[in-house]
Amino acid sequence: MVIEKAAVAGTLESSDAQITVEPGGGKVELTIESSVIHQFGKQIRAVVLETLERLDVKDAKIKVVDKGALDCTLKARVECAVYRSAGITENLPWGGVIR
């Protein structure tokens, strides 16, 4: 999937995450900010990268500001931000449909 423009999904509320997606420079660049980065940083990174891979995103800048989000919330926020950035607004294959 091609990232066409910057897009944001999520909030900075407790138990949520804000994901920003922008066109990249030829690769996936991931930045993570989290108060629990030392405990869960590897898991946050894995969930975000796995979701991007399932969406076939190969060129993007991704910024994650985590406020204690669960894996399912991270996946949903990444999906939403990617769809918004690609201009896809109808017939979205949410959740488990994406493989």
Q: Which pLDDT value is given to residue 42?
A: 97
> What pLDDT, in 10s, does the model give residues 29-87?
999 999 899 999 999 999 999 999 999 999 999 999 999 999 999 999 999 999 999 99
> What pLDDT, in 10s, does the model give residues 15-29?
999 999 999 989 999
* Distance of alpha carbon 71 from alpha carbon 73, whole angstroms: 5
Query: pTM higher than 0.85, yes or no?
Result: yes
Detail the DSSP E strand segments found in 10-93.
17-23, 28-34, 60-66
Distance from first CA to last CA of the chain, Å, rounded?
13
Domain chopping of the chain, boundaries: 5-84
- pLDDT exceeds 90 at position 89: no
Do 85 and 27 touch, CB atoms closer than 8 A? no
Going by the DSSP 8-state scheme, the letter that residue 74 receives in this structure is H
* Distance of alpha carbon 60 from alpha carbon 76, whole angstroms: 17
CATH code for 5-84? 3.30.230.10
